[in-house]
């Protein structure tokens, strides 16, 4: 009854059209059209929808969707959540349709201000409407069993968040980063993976690096050239590069970070590792980046974890 992977994000954004053109022309996702309720769906692969944009003043993440492989695993997980004292609500037909899933439950994140969705049965459009990348080499995104990508949650209570993700959601600890960022300031990050092993689907830090609920979302390309091509498109279109090209020591991701139209960052990367739990040992890394990821001073406050 483990979570299979991280399958979707619901973002509440002030400017849906700006997001759609950023996601399509710069990131290389496929953008749908604006629905009657003002929402818009973004695709990254054969799934009918991976990011749902809702018009919302928050300009922030509203919900993250955790995918289950079978309906029985989903219901067993929900039974366990309830037994652990978590308030769980089953989503109605309208919400399920909007997220294009067959069964969906929700609970609030205890310290992050967003909602967790637990679902089964995403609408796969690959057979009747193949994914068409909006830009890049055409190779698309590394998703499939690994899920959509990863995100870093900004928490009001680091210990409570770590305990919830580890003990209640039963996400698996990947590793830690403990970095001295000033003589009197150390930050710690905990990274979590799901059953299918993307190095992390979720990370959380001890020091809030942003006023948003997430410091960044991450999408991974299948080809390294797509990172460089995306970097060029970001610079040419005048988007703010928050951190330059670099490499993380733990997930070994080659990536850069660009500011989204909502203010939080999007990491675009290549080469993140997949964890095999039978071979894996948990370590603590002393730095977030082993080279690069230079912070651009004009956006110092926005540096993602």
Q: Which positions touch Fe ion (CB under 5 A)?
A: 218, 267
3-state secondary structure the chain: CCCCEEEEEEEEECCHHHHHHHHHHHHCCEECCCCCCCCEEEECCCECCCEEEEECCCCEEEEEEEECCCHHHHHHHHHHHHHCCCCCEECCHHHHHHHCEEEEEEEECCCCCCEEEEEEEECECCCCCCCCCCCCCCCCECCHHHCCCEEEECCCCHHHHHHHHHHHCCCEEEEEEEEEEECCEEEEEEEEECCCCECCCEEEECCCCCCCCEEEEEEEECCHHHHHHHHHHHHHCCCCEEEEEEECCCCCCEEEEEECCCCCEEEEEECCCECCCCCCCCCEECCCCCEECCECHHHHHHCCC
CB of 28 to Fe ion, least distance (A): 18
CB of 67 to Fe ion, least distance (A): 20
Contact in structure between 44 and 2 (CB atoms under 8 Å): no
CB of 248 to Fe ion, least distance (A): 7
CB of 151 to Fe ion, least distance (A): 8
- Considering the complex, state which of residue 171 and residue 218 has its C-beta at the smaller distance from Fe ion: 218
d(CA 123, CA 99): 9
- Considering the complex, state which of residue 99 and residue 198 has its C-beta at the smaller distance from Fe ion: 198
CA 162 to chain centre: 17
CB of 15 to Fe ion, least distance (A): 24
- Considering the complex, state which of residue 74 and residue 218 has its C-beta at the smaller distance from Fe ion: 218
- Considering the complex, state which of residue 119 and residue 256 has its C-beta at the smaller distance from Fe ion: 256
- Considering the complex, state which of residue 24 and residue 150 has its C-beta at the smaller distance from Fe ion: 150
CB of 267 to Fe ion, least distance (A): 4
CB of 48 to Fe ion, least distance (A): 26
CB of 265 to Fe ion, least distance (A): 9
- Considering the complex, state which of residue 62 and residue 218 has its C-beta at the smaller distance from Fe ion: 218
What residues form DSSP beta bridges with 187? 179
- Considering the complex, state which of residue 111 and residue 242 has its C-beta at the smaller distance from Fe ion: 242
- Considering the complex, state which of residue 63 and residue 267 has its C-beta at the smaller distance from Fe ion: 267
The dihedral formed by the CA atoms of 244, 250, 252 and 253, expressed in degrees to the nearest 10: -50
């Amino acid at each position: 009854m483990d979570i299979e992977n991280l399958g979707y994000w619901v973002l509440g954004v002030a400017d849906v059209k700006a997001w759609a053109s950023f996601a399509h022309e710069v990131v290389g996702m496929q953008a749908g059209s604006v629905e009657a309720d003002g929402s818009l769906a973004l695709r990254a692969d054969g799934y009918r929808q991976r990011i749902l944009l809702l018009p919302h003043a928050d300009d922030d993440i509203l919900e993250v969707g955790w995918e289950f492989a079978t309906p029985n695993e989903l219901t067993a997980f929900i039974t366990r959540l309830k037994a652990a004292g978590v308030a769980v609500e089953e989503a109605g037909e309208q919400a399920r349709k909007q997220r294009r899933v067959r069964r969906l439950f929700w609970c609030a994140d205890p310290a992050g201000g967003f909602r967790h969705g637990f679902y089964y049965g995403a609408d796969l459009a690959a057979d009747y409407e193949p994914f068409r990348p909006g830009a890049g080499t055409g190779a698309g995104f590394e998703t499939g069993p690994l899920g959509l990508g990863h995100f870093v949650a900004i928490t009001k209570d680091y210990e409570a968040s770590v305990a919830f993700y580890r003990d209640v959601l039963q996400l698996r600890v990947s590793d830690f980063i403990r970095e001295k960022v000033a003589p009197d300031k150390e930050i710690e990050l905990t990274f979590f993976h799901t059953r299918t092993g993307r190095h992390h689907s979720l990370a959380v830090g001890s020091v809030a690096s942003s006023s948003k609920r997430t410091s960044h979302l991450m999408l991974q390309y299948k080809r390294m050239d797509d990172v460089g091509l995306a970097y060029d498109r970001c610079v040419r279109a005048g988007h703010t590069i928050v951190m330059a090209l670099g490499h993380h020591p733990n997930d070994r991701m080659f990536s850069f970070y660009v500011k989204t139209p909502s203010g939080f960052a999007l990491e675009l990367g290549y080469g993140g590792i997949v964890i095999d739990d039978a071979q894996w040992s948990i370590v603590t890394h002393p730095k977030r980046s082993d080279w690069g990821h230079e912070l651009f001073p004009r956006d110092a406050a926005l540096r993602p974890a």
